[in-house]
Amino acid sequence: MSPICVERAARLLSDLVAIRTVNPMGRPYTSREPVERQAVEYIAELFRPYDVAVERLAASPIHESLLITVAGRQRGPHTLLESHLDTVPADDWPETAFSPRLCDGRLYGRGSCDDKGSLVAMILAVLEIFEAGDRPPLPVALLAAGDEEYAQTGIRQFVALDYPLARAVIGEPTRLQPILQHKGVIRWEITVHGRSAHSSQPERGRDAIAGAVSVIQRLAEHQRRLGERFVSRLVTAPTITVTMIHGGRTCNAVADQCTLSVDFRVIPGMSPTESRDELISWLATPGLEVSHSEAQVIASPLATSPDDPFALAALEICRRVTGRDDLQFGGAPYGTDAAWLAGRTSAIVLGPGGIEHAHAVDEHIELADVVSAAQIYHQILMSGS
Ligand SMILES: [Zn+2]
């Protein structure tokens, strides 16, 4: 029996959802073992009977990834399949988030869609190779990455290993549509400096909160201009969002300081560092004293070309397996681990499930989609030379 079937997908996915791999997202973490450890051991056990190299990659004391490599018929660069092991917390869904439920062909639970559905499909695709007694044309690297949801230390550690890569598929919920392009992101803090004074005589101070309002207006103006300069067929316009604001010290004093957290989404064609530098220059105006923190996050956009031969081959496979002849390449506003592979290899984002179910109460996935994804991944692994 082929390992790619609904029953086996359901079993593996239920087991992996029941293993909690909640990313603390920067909050205190008290367990002595890494977030992903039990899932890593579970997956390593699945591959024990086979001729694979299994490596545990420790990105930090609290996060680790699993790398499984399979020899190809020829030596050379690898096909990378990557999905992430960690999930976002389930604080808003405490009752049944980690008790997987199967209902009407769907599996419910935290991580079922983001991202363990993709991971299970990738595992099944590789198992299928062994159980059919095959060898893939190119070597395969299957990376079950840790810490995607917060600092992406898993994929970054893998990239630092400088594995030779021929092509890469990042598994995320795309409804089996190959995503070629997505946004990059830069996050940092802008602090507006003022001078405090008694609020009965505000003219004696310089109001940092009023200054922050000017900054927010200038950010909106900059966003509008960027939208005119940078246009993509697959991705929506660049955005600059103030996500948090902290200012003032007491209710009866002019604020001497106000800090804005900025989330700047850049699109293909924009360099994250140059875009940030340009924005910093744009904010440098007389009468406004502003300082900038170091960037806390800098992730590139994914900008794979629609003419990329690997992407075209993957699209053809997706059309064949899903029966959707009109399936086209897509783009996404969110970022993925593919950002870290941009410019290194042909990379696409492709997986079962819909992004609207990710990070949501009642997160779920259609098991039939997981099976289709496994068939697509398997055909990708067995394609090319
Ligand atoms: Zn994800």
> 282 alpha carbon to ligand 1 midpoint, in Å?
34
The mean pLDDT value for 101-118 works out to 96
What is the Å distance from ligand 1's center to 311 Cα?
20
pLDDT tens digits, 33-56: 999 999 999 999 999 999 899 999
- Is residue 308 one of the residues assigned to a domain? yes
Distance 137 CA to ligand 1 centre (A): 28
In a domain, 339, yes or no: yes
Mean pLDDT of 260-287: 96
Among residues 299, 321, 353, the one where a domain terminates is: 299
Residue entry with tokens 């399949």: 81
DSSP code for 79: E
What is the C-alpha separation between 123 and 4, in angstroms, rounded?
A: 10
Q: Are 324 and 291 contained in the same domain?
A: no
| CA pair distance 317, 381, nearest whole angstrom | 11
Let me know how many helices (H) and strands (E) the chain has, helices first: 8, 17
How far, in Å, is the centroid of ligand 1 from the Cα of 83?
Answer: 8
In the reported structure, the alpha carbon of residue 261 is separated from the centroid of ligand 1 by a whole-number distance in angstroms of 23
Give the Å distance between the CA of 211 and the centre of ligand 1: 37
Q: What is the pLDDT of residue 84?
A: 98
* pTM for this predicted structure: 0.91
Query: What is the Å distance from ligand 1's center to 126 Cα?
Result: 20
Question: What 8-state DSSP symbol labels residue 189?
Answer: E
Amino acid at 182: H
* 318 domain residue, yes or no: yes
Q: Is residue 295 part of a domain?
A: yes
Final residue of a structural domain among 266, 299, 332? 299
The rounded Å distance from CA 321 to ligand 1 centre is 23
Rg (CA), the chain: 23
- pLDDT tens profile 110-156: 999 999 999 999 999 999 999 999 999 999 999 999 999 999 999 99
- Ligand 1: distance of its center to the CA of 27 in Å? 19
Does 1 reside within a domain? no
Q: Whole domain around residue 42: which residue ranges?
A: 6-182+301-381
> Would you say 13 and 112 are in contact if contact means Cβ atoms under 8 Å apart?
yes
Give the pLDDT band of residue 12 (cuts 50, 70, 90): very high
The most distant pair of C-alpha atoms in the chain lies apart, rounded to whole Å, by 82
Assess whether 227 and 373 both reside in one domain.
Answer: no
Continuous segment of H or E residues that includes residue 258: strand 257-266
The mean pLDDT value for 329-350 works out to 93
Give residue 281's pLDDT: 96
288-322: b or e for each residue (b if 16 or more CB lie within 10 Å)?
Answer: bebeeeebebbbbbbbbeeebebbebbbebbbebb
- Tell whether the model's pLDDT for residue 94 goes beyond 90: no
CATH number at residue 265: 3.30.70.360
CA of 88 from ligand 1 middle (Å) equals: 9
Sign of CA dihedral 129, 134, 136, 142: positive
348 inside domain:
yes
- Ligand 1 center–CA 172 separation, angstroms: 5
Structural contact between residues 216 and 299, judged by C-beta atoms closer than 8 angstroms: no
DSSP string, 42-74: HHHHHTTTSS-EEEEEEEETTEEEEEEEE--SS
E strand or H helix that includes residue 261: strand 257-266
C-alpha of residue 295 to centroid of ligand 1, in Å: 22
372, 318 contact by CB (below 8 A): no
Residue 360 — pLDDT band, cuts 50, 70, 90? confident
Do 40 and 166 lie in one domain? The reply is yes
Domain identity same for 109 and 254: no
289 and 326 co-located in one domain: no
Total count of domains within the chain: 2
Cα(195) to centroid of ligand 1, in Å?
Answer: 44
- The Å distance, Cα 150 to ligand 1 centre, comes to 10
114 CA distance to ligand 1 middle (Å): 4
Instruction: Work out the mean pLDDT of the chain and round it to a whole number.
Output: 95
238 and 309 belong to one structural domain: no
Q: Can you name the residues that pair with 297 across neighbouring β-strands?
A: 187
The answer, yes or no, to whether residue 1 has pLDDT greater than 70, is: no
Residue 211 lies in a domain: yes
Tokens of 373: 């994804």
Centre of ligand 1 from the C-alpha of residue 149, in Å: 7
Say if residue 237 is in the same domain as residue 287. Answer: yes
- State whether 134 and 147 are in the same domain: yes
Do residues 53 and 172 share a domain?
A: yes
Q: How far is the CA of 215 from the centre of ligand 1 (A)?
A: 33
Task: Tokens 């070597």: give the residue.
Answer: 139
The type of residue at 48 is R
Burial class (CB within 10 angstroms; exposed 0-12, middle 13-18, buried 19+) of 352: buried
What is the pLDDT at residue 385? 62
CA of 355 to the centre of ligand 1 (A): 8
pLDDT of residue 356: 86
Q: Is residue 266 part of a domain?
A: yes
In a shared domain, residues 30 and 169: yes
93, 362 Cβ separation under 8 angstroms: yes
For 166-209, write each residue's pLDDT tens digit: 999 999 999 999 999 999 999 999 999 999 999 999 999 999 99
CA of 213 to the centre of ligand 1 (A): 34
Decide the pairing of beta strands 53-60 and 63-70: antiparallel
Contact 310, 167 (CB under 8 A): yes
CA of 84 to the centre of ligand 1 (A): 6
* CATH number reported for the structural domain that contains residue 106 in this entry: 3.40.630.10
Q: Of 275, 299, 323, which residue constitutes the final position of a domain?
A: 299
Over residues 285-324, the pLDDT tens digits come to 888 999 999 999 899 999 999 999 999 999 999 999 999 9
> Cα(127)–Cα(148) distance, rounded to whole angstroms?
24
Looking at the structure, do residues 148 and 207 belong to the same domain, yes or no? no
Residues 174 and 308 in one domain: yes
Place of tokens 């997956």: 43
Q: What is the DSSP letter of 202?
A: G
Cα-to-centroid distance, 85 and ligand 1 (Å): 9
CA 95 – ligand 1 centroid, Å:
22
Neighbours of ion ligand 1 (CB under 5 A): 114-115, 172
CB 98 within 8 A of CB 90: yes
